[in-house]
Amino acid sequence: MAFPPSPLDTINWNTLGLSITDAVNGHVESTYTLSTGVWSTPRFVSDPFLRVHGLSPALNYGQQAYEGLKAHRSPTNSILLFRPADHAARLSASAAYVSIPPIPEAHFLQCVKMAVARNAEWVAPHTSEALLYIRPLVFGSSGHLALTAPTEFTFAVFVQPGTTYHGVQPLPAVVVEDFDRAAPRGTGGGKVGGNYAPVIRWTDRARTQGYGVTLHLDAQTRTCVEEFSTSGFIGVRKAGEHVTLVVPDSKNIVASITSDSCLALAESFGWTVERREIPWSECKFFDEVVAVGTAASLLPIRSLHRPSTGETFYYGAETGDVTVKLGTAMRNLMRGKVADGFGWTVEVKEEDLLVDEAVAAQAPAVEDVSERPAEVVEEKMNGVEHTNGSVDSKEIEVEGKA
């Protein structure tokens, strides 16, 4: 059988949501033990379940970190990952926040490619807006009551077919003022579960009030924009033909790979990019606001409301032209419809169905991160944020409208 297989013909790819299906073929697992100091050879598990000790620090203390990336099918039937090496770096940086050993990039890529290759028929047709969402996660999995490193960690990669998290229509957003997502010098820069589960009650409440998205200001002064609960923040200013994109520069937010990609595209268009503090008061001057992330993609924000002041800033019920151009360029790159001048896409091939023993044998021992200083984490996160800062951007072809 030729690889990759055709998309399943039993699915209506145009009506997929975010519901979990257990019908995919399975997931990939790898184990790290303190005694060996290395991650085990990846293994494919043909069900969606994990075997985890009930007293594991993951379940009891929240010792876990995760990632999210996507696979798309190109017009030539190739399956493409988007910036997987950057997601590998960000996962290891997040893991350091909760004293989990890093996953070497080659090992991360091997596990992700295997998970996608073994589920290749679940990658949507290139004519569909659907995608294959990839969820790598790592956690302390052995029984362990003390607040010290457990003896075992598990790295797993799951996949799910679906579509963008919030849809594509502009949504109203509200500032969360009764809860701070992240404290200064805390874990806000990592994709760890403890930063997300506490937000659920506030996002649920916001939805009952008619808001599709929630926004967080800085915890210390509550005067500067940080990020949306599920996505990064981009503000757009237009002056005639001149466009400026502004993104928050804070150590308390996740280094958004989607945002970084948008900024690189913007620079290739000749637009201005600013990474700096964004006072809440500046939001009224933006022409467009966009929530950006792997699951959300590029979501236009219709309005921003702050209950304590009664302020509401409006950006329009239709998607702005800057968001359209960025979104179209991103989709064309991810789906292999235009040449990738940034080197962001990586193809999943037939050989990824099996373990590359050479990679497994060469996997280096990983460092003990239980005492890793915060400065190292910050450097790794900042490295992801500016991964493409020195790339000579090529002009990106934009086809049609989003």
The residues that are catalytic are 191
Cα angle 244, 246, 249 (rounded to 5 degrees) comes to 150
- Classified as helix, coil or strand, 1 is coil
Q: How many CB atoms lie within 10 A of CB 373?
A: 10
158 DSSP β-pair partners: 135
Chain-centroid distance, C-alpha 163: 14
- Classified as helix, coil or strand, 31 is strand
* Residue 139 φ then ψ, to 5°: -160, 160
Q: How many CB atoms lie within 10 A of CB 295?
A: 20
**One-letter amino acid identity for 91?**
L
* Residue 73 φ then ψ, to 5°: -100, 135
Of 279, 99, 85, 110, residue with least CA distance to 190: 99
**One-letter amino acid identity for 374?**
A
**What would the DSSP string read from start to end of 161-191?**
EE--SS-SS-EEEEE--S--S--TTSSTTS-
CB 25 within 8 A of CB 112: no
- Classified as helix, coil or strand, 373 is coil
CB 144 within 8 A of CB 100: no
CB 188 within 8 A of CB 321: no
CB 82 within 8 A of CB 344: yes
Cα(335)–Cα(131) distance, rounded to whole angstroms? 10
- Kindly report whether the peptide bond that precedes residue 4 is cis, defined as omega within 30 degrees of 0: yes
